[in-house]
Structure 1
């Protein structure tokens, strides 16, 4: 089966794309704090490119003429515990087609197979049903609820906390 997407590590050529994505509030409808200072974001993206603790990838469709579809990233959550945090964003025209799940699966494979993560966590707004579905499809377990953690739409809402362990990932993926 041919891959429908690929992940490419963010390079200096991708800084403007990632900056635009990270500062576009319409792409983050379930988040409470979207940065607006593009220069500060651009500087942060550039600094993260070669870091050990933050790995960010552009999601690209297999079609060579297709523009980037979004991004997926992993960063240390608790380094001493070999724990990473997963995050992602996809442009609306690519949502609902399985691309986000595929990109997150590729990111988890890197975390567990290449970086020897023990655990990968992810968090999402309780109203973000699309993200909840992605995390469930990945085999992640909802371990808890951070009650009224996010101030969203002029109200306090819960944030769900998910995780998957290395042995669960390896068992879930038949490895």
Structure 2
């Protein structure tokens, strides 16, 4: 997964999203932000996102290295995984951008309802199955994520779509 990283050149009809801080309630329809437990000696569990296991699927864990992008940037493509949740846990990331959007009644992405988040490098993200999202996009410097998901289920689990350009802006820009 790779973010576009291309500097924004705004067109008059282009959608602009001002990135917001991670907001658990706003993000809940799309997944969950992964964060450390609030109390020492405790655990925060996120395993429920990976149930039920797709038939014949196997767990996949890999590390992505992502080149940095610069805000504002333009996103013209999204992806989703119909059969499995996808989890990104930063290993060495300054901050990164998450953009998600719902599907319409035909399953197509709805860019007009997109939301964008500016996420610090000490939080991960889990995308629910079927959630359209932008590819991994780090800021400031190269970044590394541990990525976890199921692979090899009953059908292809990577869908990619082009969307009308969406410009993502830093708050206060």
> Above 0.5 in TM-score?
no
TM-score, length-normalised on structure 2? Answer: 0.27
Structure richer in helix, relative to its length: 1
TM-score, length-normalised on structure 1? Answer: 0.27
Structure richer in strand, relative to its length: 2
